[in-house]
Amino acid sequence: MAGEAVTEAKGGGVGGGGVADEFIVAPNPGDPALSAPVSGIDHTGARVETRVVQERALTLYLNAQEVVTMMTIGDHPDLLAVGYLLNQNMLRADDVIKGIDHDDDLGVVVVRTKRATNYEDKMKKKVRTSGCAQGTVFGDVMEHFETVSLPRDAKLKTSWLYALTKKINTAPSLYLTAGAIHGCVLCEGDRPLVYMEDVGRHNAVDKIAGWMFMNGADPANKIFYTTGRLTSEMVIKTVMMGIPILVSRSGFTAWGVELAKQAGLTLIGRARGKRFLAVAGEDRIEFDADASYDEGEDKKHRRKGAGDD
């Protein structure tokens, strides 16, 4: 399935050389549109120059309907738009997209579907979710959530987990360049396929959902890695995407754990160095790596929490 994805993949900004070659879509920290130079003073009073990530308003329309205005770093607006609509259950798996128009100057993206849509009423009922969240989850998302059944035979080898986190943490990224950004990575086995970053973690998730839809990727054999916390909203999105395994370097919320158990999702958090904690779907984990000691993470690539919220 990854093969299919490869052949159809949109060219992401793949950093040249080494680990980055494994990615179908990788961050493009060199893109001047994604970060900006800022001048300030440090703790000694010395003048310093640094780079910070961009944050732009993007208004999403589904056909004639204005849906939401998102704050985003601005890359992959087409995938963000499609992924948002999918994760909000406003776009169905069998929907045919006639076109996606993006106007960078206006900060507008329009998704046109063959099926007529009308979410006037749906737009009225919103739930504000936790942390770096969607901001809104529509009522019927939960109804859909309860109907999803995740593949039992999917597995996660601990050797894959250690290889993935190392490749992800060492890949060139906006996080390493400018910090204050979240990352989500769609993985298969020990290979990271699609690495998306955004100022809103929910956007990074949605961009991956959009990429999967546009590339017909099979969720059943995928592993989803995120830098963010495992809240109810993160668990709901992963299940909505049909991915059986969710891994984060961050912690859990009680409802996130409860929903993961309910959906049969393998939920792994606090994954740092060789350490991790699995609190749901542990049976999918295959302990094939030596975890008797924790080598930790080298300082350069450790996320210092600049991705907070």
First to last CA, the chain: 33
Determine the Cα–Cα distance for residues 190 and 160; give it in Å rounded to an integer: 4
User: From the CB of 16, what's the least distance to its own copies, in Å?
Assistant: 26
Pairing of strands 156-157, 108-113: unpaired
DSSP run (H or E) holding 144: helix 139-147
Q: Which residue number, 10 or 69, has a Cβ lying nearer to its own copies?
A: 69
User: From the CB of 80, what's the least distance to its own copies, in Å?
Assistant: 11
> Which among 68, 57, 70, 71 has a CA at the least distance from the CA of 90?
68
User: From the CB of 235, what's the least distance to its own copies, in Å?
Assistant: 11
Q: Which residue number, 5 or 281, has a Cβ lying nearer to its own copies?
A: 281
Q: Which residue number, 44 or 147, has a Cβ lying nearer to its own copies?
A: 44
User: From the CB of 257, what's the least distance to its own copies, in Å?
Assistant: 5
| Backbone torsions φ then ψ of 259, nearest 5 degrees | -65, -35
Q: Which residue number, 96 or 106, has a Cβ lying nearer to its own copies?
A: 106
Pairing of strands 223-226, 266-272: unpaired
Q: Which residue number, 12 or 200, has a Cβ lying nearer to its own copies?
A: 200
Which residue is it, tokens 């006639």? Answer: 98
Q: Which residue number, 94 or 295, has a Cβ lying nearer to its own copies?
A: 295
Q: 73: which 2 tokens?
A: 């770093």
Determine the Cα–Cα distance for residues 151 and 255; give it in Å rounded to an integer: 22
Cα–Cα distance list, 269 to 78, 88, 227, 230 (Å): 30, 24, 10, 7
Residues 6+ apart with CB under 8 A from 24: 5, 6, 9, 12, 14, 193, 194
Q: Which residue number, 133 or 239, has a Cβ lying nearer to its own copies?
A: 133
In sign, the C-alpha dihedral spanning 271, 274, 278, 283 is positive
